């Protein structure tokens, strides 16, 4: 996803667009403000991931439309614009999003297939691999990342609830997420450096996941690998 447009930051209009969408999540609002979305949201996001492509790879932008087929929430549009690198290749993912709350960057496995989860738990239970993950997570938290991903409400079956790594063992998906909010630099090229630094900080987590978990096994009847990693704010590229 290359672009010749230089990234200059996300203008205030991007946040205002999503403020309005949260108040009126309708096709009429989106249609009336489509030019703002293209100019202040989609355009800068394309420029951002284009500037990062040489180092991190090609990103895919998530669609603005929500998949409402199986959701009780029928609002037609997502309240953020996300982009992701690494969809189901086993090497982990990198994620960036803009919303009314500002900028966020993250990465990891937001969702794991059954076979990935088996390997993940086995690795966390192993003292050497498990301790390496603890060190990775501690380093991310020291850089203001939050650990995200679906978790069980209790210990997995057969696991001692008092296990020293029980927090990690309860995860069904694991990723680091850093919420930057909307500081003054958001509307400047400095936002590119913040995302780049965040993605570099996530390299040890994605390396651990690639080594210990890997890609999902193929699903019978589906030529693709199992479930793709999804964004923490809604799936569907």
Q: What is the pLDDT of residue 220?
A: 64
> Is 4 contained in some domain?
no
Q: What is the pLDDT of residue 165?
A: 98
Domain range enclosing 189: 12-225
> Is 2 contained in some domain?
no
Q: What is the pLDDT of residue 227?
A: 44
pLDDT digits (tens, 9 = 90+) for 177-216: 999 999 999 999 999 999 999 999 999 999 999 999 999 9
Q: Do residues 3 and 47 touch, judged by C-beta distance below 8 A?
A: yes
Q: What is the pLDDT of residue 70?
A: 83
Q: What is the pLDDT of residue 3?
A: 54
What CATH number does residue 108 fall under? 3.30.1460.10
Q: What is the pLDDT of residue 93?
A: 94
Q: CA angle, corner 85, sides to 138 and 188, nearest 5?
A: 80
Alpha-carbon 83 to chain mean position? 8
DSSP secondary structure of 130-190:
HHHHHHHHHHHHHTT-EEES-B-SSPPTTS-TT-TTHHHHTBSSEEEEEEEE--GGGGSTH
Residues of the chain with pLDDT under 50: 222-229, 235-237
Q: What is the pLDDT of residue 10?
A: 98
Domains of the chain: total: 1
Residues above pLDDT 70, as percent of the chain: 89
């Amino acid at each position: 996803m290359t672009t010749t447009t230089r990234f200059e930051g996300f203008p205030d209009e991007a946040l205002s667009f999503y403020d309005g969408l949260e108040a009126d999540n309708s096709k009429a609002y989106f249609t009336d403000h489509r030019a703002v979305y293209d100019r202040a949201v989609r355009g800068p996001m394309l420029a951002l991931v284009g500037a990062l492509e040489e180092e991190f790879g090609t990103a895919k932008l998530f669609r603005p439309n929500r998949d409402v087929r199986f959701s009780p929430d029928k609002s037609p549009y997502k309240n953020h614009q996300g982009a992701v690198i690494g969809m189901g290749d086993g090497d982990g993912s990198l994620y960036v999003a803009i919303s009314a709350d500002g900028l966020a960057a993250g990465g990891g496995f937001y969702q794991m297939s059954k076979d990935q989860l088996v390997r993940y738990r086995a690795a966390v239970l192993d003292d050497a691999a498990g301790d390496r993950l603890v060190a990775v997570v501690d380093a991310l938290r020291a850089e203001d990342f939050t650990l995200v991903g679906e978790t069980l409400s209790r210990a997995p079956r057969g696991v001692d609830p008092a296990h020293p790594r029980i927090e990690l063992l309860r995860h069904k998906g694991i990723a680091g997420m850093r919420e930057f909010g909307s500081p003054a630099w958001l509307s400047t090229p400095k936002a590119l450096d913040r995302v780049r630094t965040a993605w570099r900080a996530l390299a040890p987590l994605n390396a651990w996941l690639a080594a210990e978990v890997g890609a999902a096994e193929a699903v019978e009847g589906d030529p693709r690998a199992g479930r793709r990693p999804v964004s923490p704010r809604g799936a569907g590229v």
